[in-house]
Amino acid sequence: MNPAGLSPRQEAVLRAVREWIAEHGEGPSVRVIGARVGLPSTSSVAYLLGRLEVLGFISRTGRRWQTCRLHP
């Protein structure tokens, strides 16, 4: 685990979200994240995003993950 207490997979998902937002100005879809981190299961990606949200790294402004925002 890294100093923030994230698993390597959580780190990869957070990095993918961060990079996508920097490139496109909005959050990526669950499928896009999965493709970037090598997870074909959308439910696995959604679970990891949910954990990152509980831990305070990201939040959603709507029901979809494409509305997610990063927290410092």
CATH of the domain at 52: 1.10.10.10
Tens digits of per-residue pLDDT, 18-31?
999 999 988 899 99
Domain span at 28: 8-70
> 33-63, pLDDT tens digit by residue?
999 999 999 999 999 999 999 999 999 887 7
pTM for the whole thing? 0.86
Q: What are phi and psi of 48, to 5 degrees?
A: -65, -40
CA 25 to chain centre: 14
Q: Which of 48, 18, 23 is CA-nearest to residue 34? A: 48
Is the residue at 36 inside a domain? yes
Read off the tokens for 10: 């959580």
From CA 54, how far away is CA 41, in angstroms rounded?
20
